[in-house]
Structure 1
Amino acid sequence: FYAENKNPAKALARAKKAYDYIAKTQGTETLSASYQLLNLSEVHQLTGNYTQALDYSKKALLAMNNAIRSGSSLLDSVKTELKKPKAILQKAKAEYALLPAKSKAELSRILGELAEALAIIERRKTVLTDAGDIGLLLSDQAGLLKFMEKITIELYAQSGDVTYLHRLMGLHESGLYNRIRARLDKADTLRFAHVPAAVQAKEKALKTAVAAALAGDRSHPEKMQAYFKAVEAWETFREGLKRDHPRYYHLRYAAIFQSLPDLRQRIPEGTTLVRYFFSDSSLFALVVDAGSERLLPLSATGLEKQLAILSKNAYDLAPTSEALAALYRQLWAPLEKEVRNKKVLIIPDGILYSLSFETLTPKKISSFRDLATNSLLSRHSIAYHYSLFLLREKKTTPSRQASFVAFAPGFTEQVKGPYRTAVSASALPDNSYLSLLPQPFTLDLATKAQRLLGGAAFLNEQSTVGAFRQNAGHQKIIHIGTHAESNNLHPEYSRLIFAKTSADENNSLYLPEIYNCDLSSDLAVLTACESGRPGFEDGEGMVSLAHAFHYAGSESMLTGLWKIDEKASALLMEAFYQNLVAGMSKDEALRQAKLHYLQTAEGRALSPQYWAGLVIMGDTAPVSLDKINVQWRWASVGLMLLLFITGVFMFLRKRVR
């Protein structure tokens, strides 16, 4: 604390006093002594005394190794090894700072040491069950991965070797993915679709057995025997998960560091991938297509300021125009020559998740309508993804018999009426439910979409959590038009809200519960407020409702980056569905819907705040809708009208006679 707040003398004095006391009372080669040596190394590191930081980090590692060999219990040895990655990181940082010339050989040596620390984390994470130990491990992992990124970037810059580029992106994706996993691990009651309840119960029991093996009053040899037996059973179980439930295993237990898949094989044909990522305070863009891949450094200076201008002045043309042009120069101009395809797949990072890239303009606009001709929207079909790890191999999407299902509670007074009556005598009615704004445009859209696409629509009081669980899966399109709450501090409390008619009826589907739903579909449409906004930390969009849908089986999602105007959203979605029926890909269908909207909207509604927040995430292939059925449906409507008119004509003719 004192070192970070520019009081190095006091920081060093306190750290030295603590170490001297531990050395005197417990010895210099104990677990406690190693912790204090590591603390001294950190203080010297923060104050710029890298020689002393290196010396103390070496002493800390030596003390840790001795403590592991002479540990009085297996638990002490396990806890000591948990600290080693941090000590290795401190040593590597000091060595890096002291290098007179950062040659490829020296940087590679340091990277090798850091890889050893990562291997320790990988070993230990498989058997940890205590929340505190897991938190410590993940904290150490985050700092380790960031510094490994820094070293790898320098190695790539020196050599141009794409091996370093692939390793760099693997490190970055691993760090993001494991922060997501940590959130899931905290939810003890979390259940997952596609995995039997008995398997999940056995998983929990085996984890508990590993932790319990080191507790109790048994002798040290007995604890060791119980521990190794429990770990062996756990490892055998994990191998079974990997074989029988690979999707679940990958989500929960796959290695922290993963090498990247062959990106060029996984990028859709005719598409350029742009992966933005921050490394410390630096910003980079990885640009990949079928013929090339390049890492480009970008300026991050003033980025937050420009994004704040867009957020605070959404309806004011002058500042918005200036900010969009500035962001174009900063985020797109440096790489636009590398983008040789009309279709672009963007994976944002950090604060960039709040930006709709299609609104960026090469020059300032004089009206919001100019975005139709002077923006990335006019040039590219842009879609988004969460992670390079989640790019799917090119494969045939399974055919789905059902075409469409919609859920739209509407939240009219008619829908709230039964609940209001049921709780009239209650002292604690759900006022948050009763105060939800009606959604007439959303209700109307669901009705029109069903007429166009067929399938089923659960509207008004029929749109319940139970109806959603039972009917949402195995559809080509799942349409959800409802209110949602996005909780950035505690993402597990983010929820979709449905109708309810009784006092004890649950009308919320929380994010963790979505993982236990079967939502297999070509496209899930989440027009709820802020459904795609990342939770907890900027950029962690995988801890969002959209990520939960991805695990539950949705190939792609149409969702909102921010709160979307209901009427504008309904207009856009109506055009979007018509474009899908015409055979357009999802990204192009949304692009054309937005261009049409810009041609027809007027006044304030032209602001990007009304329309630009809707984005496609995931697979962009066309939805294989049955055009023949659609044509027959309209033909049937025409035939009915013809019969009605004929009937009226005959009736009037008969009366005249």
Structure 2
Amino acid sequence: DIARSYFNIGETYDGQGNYRKALEYHKKALDIRIKGLGESHPYVAAGYNSIGEIYFKQGRHDTALEYCQKALNILLNSFGKNHLDVALYYNNIANIYEKKRDYDLAIKNHKIALSISLKELGKGHPNVAESYNRLGEIYYKLKNYEKAVEYNEKAIDCLQQMRKHFTTIESKQFHLSEKQSIFENSIRNILEANSFDSTQFDLKQTFTYAETGKGNLLLDALNSSQAKYFANIPEPLLQKEYDLITDITYYDKKRQEKLLEGMDENDTTILAFSSKQFGLNRQYEVLVNQLETDYPQYYQAKYNFTTLTVNHVQDHLLAENQTLLEYFVGDSSIFIFLIQKNNYEVKEIKRDFPLKDWVQQMTKEGIYGYHALSIYDPLKTDSLQDAATLNYATAAQNLYKKLISPFENKLTKNLLIIPDGVLNYLPFEALLTEAPARIGSYKSYPYMLKKHQISYSYSATLLDEMRQKQHRRAPEGKLLAMAPFFDGDVEELNIRIDTTDIFADINRSEPLLPLPNSGEEIATISKLFDGTPIYGTAASLTQFQQQAESYRILHLATHGKADDRVGDYAYLAFAVPGDVGEFDKLYARDLYNYSLNADMVVLSACETGTGKLQKGEGIISLSRAFAYAGAKSIFPTLWQVSDEKTKDLLIGFYKYLKIGKPKDEALRLAKLDFLESNAGNGIGTHPYFWAGLIGIGDMRAVR
């Protein structure tokens, strides 16, 4: 089909932004189709529409309108008024009128498209959400804020319906991430409306919008988990669901592994895995429909999409003298929400600065890029160190001024930070409140750590869920600590470790190398908490799988690896019994099938808090996977950490936990002690060694 070939070539040029060549080939395709099919064929309409879209991109709006109107007329004659392609063409025409600032005709055409989509697709579809969103944008441009907010809320309600209709994580994430602009528009519209009339809208609604746009996949998973265990569903059905999810995960994991090995999507092995996974997904969808029909209580619990209100945060979530700072990072603005017991404020910060560049400058090009290199790496030069030192000092101040300074004078000592977007990569404790007195004198740097006790959460709603979560059963053990890569003498280690002295001051590429300090780390904390330490090749994945559900605290001192391309395939390494040279991987995706009863999980491994960033979800990482599995609090790392320094930091952390300190306070005190004890070692107080470990979730004291 020559016309199809021309059409495809035109689409390729269109995708490359070469509109002149795109028009040339689309017109060739259109001429052939008109001659062969006649002027009234739907394929001819598609040709007119494609040419109209290209003219639209070129800014030639009148010509675009001419072609798109021809396309619409053909489809109306061919399919009638209630066809989805007709709705698409009405939307295209509406977009042209919007660009021409003929807003009345833009609204008229969007509403026609919306009515068709609602009839053919129902309320919970991305096309419907987008129509509501576009109408909200037009009313915003007309400064009709009441109508703008009305359509914003309809778009958000549509997104909530989508969460019910898409059963797989992948489909939900794709569609929800594509619609994040709806939440940004909703927040902006209320703020702007209230700048003219402060009584027009309740400002607290903006926080609800921000919360609704965050952590939906994780919240849905927690809701689903709780629903299954408290809705009296027969065990065989739950087991069938568990088995299907496990099998789906297995085949997807095998498929991804083969793709990462370089195998083509069309390879027979890949196709076999995909076919098996498709069949299992269909079985799973049928089962979910059965559960929802036969067990409405389960359905209601699973699809509870209510987010916390400002009043609930103030009355139930925040402690006295605690401040919540929540960020919403949009395309054109950052919104900062401050909530205290008796105060609520919102500020808009325009994104007129290179946010992503500053974050990278502070972290990868500042804190850890140089220090994570091996001493034998030829790239580890004095000039790179000098650049990293300056990058960190500069970016840490710049980010503080943008992200913290707007509320600086209102902050309490205790901060709960809910980051968004690229801010998830930031250790806020290492932001600098002002310029250092002397560059390179790290002990004296004005870190936020020195003024504030900081913890993190994925969202306020998720924090409340994590705190209120009821474990499936009470764990029998206090602490399980594993050090798969400790290759020292365990008996000698246990004789040498004496925990009495640590209270005196109170008033990781393959092959994987040994972690010599991990043994002392888990031996010490196990003695403090009467825990169960497992060393070396005995610390296997099988041991973890068999024992993890029985402990209140899980501490894993091992190797970890983030994957910023496919976050669900980040992994923790475990030993293989009897084989020092081999290791097993616990992937983040595998954790989705676990049911942990842990109040705290400490991931003393590299890169356990970092991974792929997804809009609305944050970082898809090992730490997030442990939250998915049921952990109430997680302590991950943001970069490759030092085995020796992390040991010292964590022993200090557990020391303060032992005497009843809340987790966030215990971590802050351990970090301040670390700075003091390394004061004589200039580089030893660098943020690389202490700022990477952060606390997420429920920070109440360990029971």
TM > 0.5: yes
Distance in 2 between residues matched to 1:241 and 1:172, nearest whole Å: 32
Q: 1:336: which partner in 2?
A: 408
TM superposition shift of 1:377: 0.6
Q: Is the contact between residue 117 and residue 127 of structure 2 (CA under 8 Å) also seen in structure 1?
A: no
Residues 421 and 618, structure 2, Cα contact 8 Å, conserved in 1: no
The aligned counterpart of 2:429 is 358
Instruction: Please state how far the C-alpha of 1:591 moved relative to its aligned partner.
Output: 0.4
Q: Contact 2:563–2:611 at 8 Å: present in 1 too?
A: no
2:430 counterpart of 1:376: no
Distance in 1 separating the partners of 2:167 and 2:32: 32
- Larger deviation, residues 283-292 vs 302-311: 302-311
Q: What pairs up with 1:150-189 in 2 under 5 angstroms? A: 150-159=185-194, 160=198, 168-177=206-215
CA contact (8 A) 2:554 2:601 kept: yes
Aligned residue number for residue 340 of structure 2: 289
- For residues 148 and 477 of structure 1, the distance between their equivalents in structure 2, rounded to whole angstroms, comes to 37
Tell me if 1:66 matches 2:82: yes
In the alignment, is residue 237 of structure 1 matched against residue 291 of structure 2?
A: yes
8 Å CA contact retained: 1:156, 1:162? no
Query: Which region of structure 1 is more displaced relative to structure 2, 462-471 or 231-240?
Result: 231-240
Post-superposition shift, 1:406? 0.4
5 Å-filtered alignment, 1:430-445, equals 435-445=511-521
- Is contact 1:313–1:319 with CA below 8 Å preserved after alignment? yes
Quote the offset at 1:401 in angstroms. Answer: 4.7
Cα distance per residue 1:256-297 (max 9 Å; x no partner)? xx5444333453313211112211132221221222222212
**Counterpart for residue 637 of structure 1:** none
Give the CA deviation at 1:150: 1.8
Q: Does 1:607 align with 2:623?
A: no
Q: Against the structure 1 CA distance between its residues 515 and 495, is the aligned structure 2 distance closer, same or farther, given a 3 Å change threshold? A: same
1:498 aligned onto 2:574: yes
SS in 1 for 2:517: helix
C-alpha distance 80-536 of structure 1, shift in aligned 2 (>3 A)? farther
CA distance 1:604–1:128, change in 2 (3 Å): closer
Partner amino acid, structure 2, of 1:306? W
- 552-561 vs 588-597, which moves further: 552-561
- Per mean C-alpha deviation after superposition, the further-off stretch among 505-514 and 287-296 is 505-514
- Pick one of 356, 359, 364 that aligns with 1:307: 359
Question: Where does the alignment leave 5 or more consecutive residues of structure 2 unmatched?
Answer: 1-11, 88-115, 230-234, 248-283, 368-384, 491-508
Compute the displacement of 1:589 (Å). 0.5
Question: Size of the alignment, in residue pairs?
Answer: 560
Deviations 1:434-468 (A, max 9, x none): x3111111111101111111121111122111111
In structure 1, C-alpha distance between the alignment counterparts of 2:651 and 2:52, rounded to whole Å: 61
Structure 1 contact 54–90 (Cα < 8 Å) conserved? no
Q: 1:576 to 1:334 in 2, by over 3 A?
A: same
Contact 2:653–2:667, Cα closer than 8 Å, also in 1? yes
Deviates more, 1:275-284 or 1:534-543: 534-543
1:412 counterpart = 2:428:
no
Alpha-carbon contact 1:354-1:562 (below 8 Å) kept: no
Contact 1:145 1:171 in 2 (8 A): no
CA distance in 1, matches of 2:208, 2:46: 31
Q: Is 1:557–2:614 an aligned residue pair?
A: no
- Of the three residues 264, 267, 280, the one matched with 2:314 is 264
CA distance, structure 2, for counterparts of residue 233 and residue 21 of structure 1: 49
| 1:290–1:138 CA distance, 2 compared to 1 (3 A) | same
Residue deviations 1:71-114 (CA, integer Å, cap 9, x gap): 9xxxx999974997448736964884697642314524653664
Aligned pairs for 1:453-472 within 5 A: 453-472=529-548
Counterpart residue number, 2:325: 274
Residues 605-653 of structure 1: CA deviation (Å, up to 9, x unaligned):
21101110100010111112xxxxxxxxxxxxxxxxxxxxxxxxxxxxx
Deviation at 1:362, TM superposition (A): 2.0
- When structure 1 is superposed on structure 2, of 455-464 and 233-242 the one drifting more is 233-242
For residue 395 of structure 2, give the secondary structure of its aligned residue in structure 1.
helix
Q: Compute the displacement of 1:381 (Å).
A: 0.5
2:575 aligns to what SS in structure 1? Answer: coil
Name the residue aligned to 1:573.
650
Q: Structure 1 residues 413 and 85, CA, compared in 2 at 3 Å: closer, same or farther?
A: same
Choose from 103, 121, 127 the match for 2:144: 103
Structure 1 residue 12 displacement after superposition: 5.9
Deviations 1:326-352 (A, max 9, x none): 22112111122342x211111112221
CA-based RMSD of the aligned residues comes to: 4.7
- The answer (yes or no) to whether the contact 2:337–2:344 under 8 Å persists in 1 is yes
Partner of 2:394 in structure 1?
322
| CA displacement at 1:146 relative to structure 2 | 0.9
| 1:484 paired residue number | 560
Whole-angstrom CA distance in 2 between matches of 1:566 and 1:298: 39
Deviations 1:543-574 (A, max 9, x none): 21112211222110111011111111000001
8 Å contact kept, 1:405–1:479: yes
2:382 corresponding residue in structure 1:
none
State how far apart, in whole Å, the 2-side matches of 1:181 and 1:44 are.
43
Structure 1, unpaired ranges of 5+: 185-189, 206-229, 416-431, 625-657
In the alignment, the residues of structure 2 paired with residue 510 and residue 460 of structure 1 have an alpha-carbon distance, to the nearest angstrom, of: 20
In structure 2, what is the Cα distance between the partners aligned to 1:464 and 1:272?
Answer: 41
Assess, with a 3 A threshold, how the Cα gap between structure 1 residues 35 and 294 changes in structure 2: closer, same or farther.
farther
Matched residue SS, 2:611 = coil
**What is residue 198 of structure 1 aligned with on the other side?**
240
Q: Is the 8 A contact 1:276 1:285 kept in 2?
A: yes
The 3-state SS of whatever aligns with 2:701 is: coil
CA distance in 1, matches of 2:135, 2:345: 30
Change (3 A) 1:384 1:163: farther
Partners of 1:499 and 1:507 within 8 A in 2: yes
Deviation for aligned residue 1:411: 4.7
Q: Letter of the aligned partner of 1:177 in structure 2?
A: G
How many Å separate the matches in 2 of 1:99 and 1:397? 44
Report if the CA contact (8 A) 1:53-1:90 is conserved. Answer: no
Verify the 8 A CA contact 1:476 1:521 in the aligned structure 2.
yes
Distance in 2, Cα, partners of 1:26 & 1:549 = 60
Partner deviation per Cα, 1:129-150 (whole Å, 9 max, x = no partner): 799xx75x86555444414522
**Alignment CA distance shift 1:500-1:81 (3 Å):** same
SS at match of 2:533: strand
| Closer/same/farther in 2, CA of residues 617 and 396 from structure 1, 3 Å limit | closer
Cα deviation 1:204-253 (Å, max 9, x = unaligned): 99xxxxxxxxxxxxxxxxxxxxxxxx999854423557734887x35xxx
Q: How far did 1:578 drift?
A: 0.5
